[in-house]
Amino acid sequence: MSYKCKVKLRPRLISGKWRIQGTAPVIGLVRKQFKTEAEAMDEYERIIQQVDNATAGAEIREVLLSKDQEKEAVGAFHFLESQSHLAGLSLTDLVHWASRNYSADLIELTVGEAKEKYIQELKARKRSLPHINKNEQRLAKLLRFFPTKKVNDFTPEEIKSYISTDKDAYGPFAGLDRSPTTLTGELIYLRSFFTWCVNHKYCKSSPCDATVYSPGRNRAEIKALTLDEVKAVFKIVPDFHPEITVPYFALSIFCGLRPEELLNMDPDKADLQWSDFVWHNNGEASLSITYGVGKASTRRVISVPPNCIEWIRPWAEKADFTGPVINTTFGTLRGMAEYVRAKVGYRVGAKNIKQYDDNLASYSNDDDRKKWIPDGLRHTGISYQLVASGSDYLHTAEWSGNSESMIKEHYKALIKGSTEMTPKEEVRAFYSIIPNDDVTNRQRPTRLL
């Protein structure tokens, strides 16, 4: 374009507005107005460049950047080319991603920083201690894998990898044998955490979105311990911290109590007390599971089986019928329970039982040992109670703190008997398991059958 033409097209301030007026080759008549001089100059340079390209036989550029914009674009392209993990993405892709994830109000926090605030809020809302502990454990695990990562920088692909058992995954379950129930449980806690982060403007959107599918849950058949395994348990416990193990296993197996109904981690709930039992004059006993011990929906009164009374009453007498039934910490109880499982023949990790038996710990986790039955003690108690009641589903549901439909669906036909005894004979043998010796150095109470 000639110098004369350039001068004629140069922006001028006319009546308070910047205008471009004139005629240019290729384009023709130009009549435009702008609010600012900068906008007018940008358009002026675009027109000149378009005309120069056209008259030089080059392709006409539809968009012309200012020099500062061009410099910034070149720098952005150089940066994009230097990032190998962004290969295949265009600058436009990155701009769109930034648009979706950037917020002027966003408060950028690392996983560790967000974790502390999240746990503090759970405590302020007076959530149960087990719930707080589980969240803290899971987020500490996430922090180990992403110690410096901002919560807003997580992607759905990273969450998928984190809860995957694939050997090449990046997460705590990589290459491990974990059930869908375990993986789904992990995802549920992550979803809650990242939803909380979104609500508090720590991230724009949750990486646990609809593309991160739940692995599902196990629908495995409920199982009970065999009669021989129950007998084996009660051969071990009289000689291994019986003041803890005898009440724990007797009440779990013969009364079907949940672990948290015996020893509660929730500060708003009480541990089971000897005073929760009523010792009747006829030698029988009943146990009241109240709102303060169990769930509100499982409040019930349990008729304690006679053989269970024989196992636990000496320890109640020794405690003068007061104080906690399980007088120890949850961690100590877990180690003792796992030792007994290992002695019976189940597969148990060495960590918690090494203090009791180094030799047993050296092979307790071998692959050829049986896997422990989740909630096996309670399942055993309910299964035998159902047969003893004459398959009275309602009675068994009320006795165990379950729904009648749950009992019908999961517990019928678990006690099948054997070639030596019928199911009813097996149930009689189960409720005939009593102490052979005085494990408390006191006279054993009279057998009540």
- Residue 89: HSE in the Cβ half-sphere, 13 Å Cα cutoff: 18
State residue 61's pLDDT score.
53
pLDDT for 169 equals: 92
Residue 1 pLDDT: 61
Split at pLDDT 50, 70, 90, the class of 65 is low
Task: Specify the pLDDT at position 442.
Answer: 39
Spatial separation of the C-alpha atoms in residues 128 and 123, rounded to whole Å: 8
pLDDT exceeds 70 at position 224: yes
**Tokens coding 368:** 């050829």
Q: Whole-prediction pTM value?
A: 0.58
Q: Which of the four pLDDT bands, split at 50, 70 and 90, describes residue 265?
A: low
Q: What is the mean pLDDT of residues 201-213?
A: 91
According to DSSP, the residues that pair with 17 across neighbouring strands are 14
Is 394 or 177 the better-scoring residue by pLDDT? 394
| pLDDT at residue 62 is higher than 70 | no
DSSP H/E element including 289: strand 285-289
| From 7-11, 156-160, 339-343, 374-378, the region with the lowest mean pLDDT | 7-11
Q: Using CA atoms, how far apart are residues 237 and 322, in angstroms rounded to an integer?
A: 22
Per CATH, the number for 227-328+375-430 is: 1.10.443
Give the mean pLDDT of the chain. 85
Range with the poorest average pLDDT among 252-256, 380-384, 393-397, 417-421: 417-421
Query: Which has more pLDDT, 83 or 4?
Result: 83
The pLDDT of residue 92 is above 90: no
Pairing, β 17-24 against β 28-34: antiparallel
Give domain limits for the chain.
3-55, 111-199, 227-328+375-430
Q: Which of 15, 50, 49 is nearest to 35 (CA)?
A: 15
Burial of 67 (0-12, 13-18, 19+ CB in 10 A): exposed
- Name the phi and psi angles at 420, rounded to 5: -85, -25
Among 105-109, 304-308, 435-439, the range with the most confident prediction by mean pLDDT is 304-308
For range 185-212, the mean pLDDT: 93
CA–CA gap between residue 431 and residue 234 (Å, rounded): 12
